[in-house]
Amino acid sequence: MPLLAAYAAAQGAPRLLLAALLLGWGGDVLLLLDADWAFLAGMGSFALGHVCYLTLFARRRTSPALGAVYALALAGTVLALWPGLPADLRIPVAGYSLLLTAMAYRSSSLGALAGAGGALFLLSDTLIATGIAEWPQLPAPDFWVMLTYIAAQYLLTAGALRTMYGARRTTS
């Protein structure tokens, strides 16, 4: 994330995008620690990053039909995961999931690249949540989480830069 943030800064990215990326990095570092407090702090860091993304996307329009799809996905995922989540994580995970889903939905306002990034971020964190709920996992689950997460952050960044400066700036 620091490298992606440096790239975005070199492209003249807005502070909100840089803050979102650096808060994601903070969340990454905290999630490396094997402690409940670090998990909650990491989730908090990511949540603040999502607030930055939401603020960045605020003035743009998004499809209401897509919003309905994301709302159904949120409700279904939270309901399915709820029984398997530790009791003390249920409310924080549900709140974070609401914020993450809102960010994923609103990311599409910047176009297909950012929209795909938002969807991949949602997928990445859903993979983490299924692990916490002790659902069966894909082989090498950390690989899939990181692959979808890195792709998500890149696509969100590329989509934001493309929307702000045009396609020529994001390919240099």
Residue 3: the pLDDT is 97
Residue 172: the pLDDT is 44
168 band by pLDDT with thresholds 50, 70 and 90? very low
Quote the CA–CA distance of 102 and 45 in Å, as a whole number.
Answer: 16
Q: Please, are residues 43 and 27 in contact by the beta-carbon 8 Å criterion?
A: yes
Is residue 171's pLDDT more than 80? no
Q: Where are the domains of the chain?
A: 2-170
Look at the alpha carbons of 36, 41, 47, 53 in this order and tell me if their dihedral is positive or negative.
Answer: negative
DSSP state letter for 12: T
Residue 110: the pLDDT is 94
Is residue 169's pLDDT more than 50? no
The whole model's pTM is what?
0.92
Quote the CA–CA distance of 152 and 145 in Å, as a whole number.
Answer: 10
Is residue 66's pLDDT more than 80? yes
Segment 72-125, tens digit of pLDDT:
999 999 999 999 999 999 999 999 999 999 999 999 999 999 999 999 999 999
Segment 2-36, tens digit of pLDDT:
999 999 999 999 999 999 999 999 999 999 998 98
167 band by pLDDT with thresholds 50, 70 and 90? very low
Could you identify the residue written with the tokens 């743009």? 60
How many Cα neighbours within 13 Å face the side chain of 97? 25
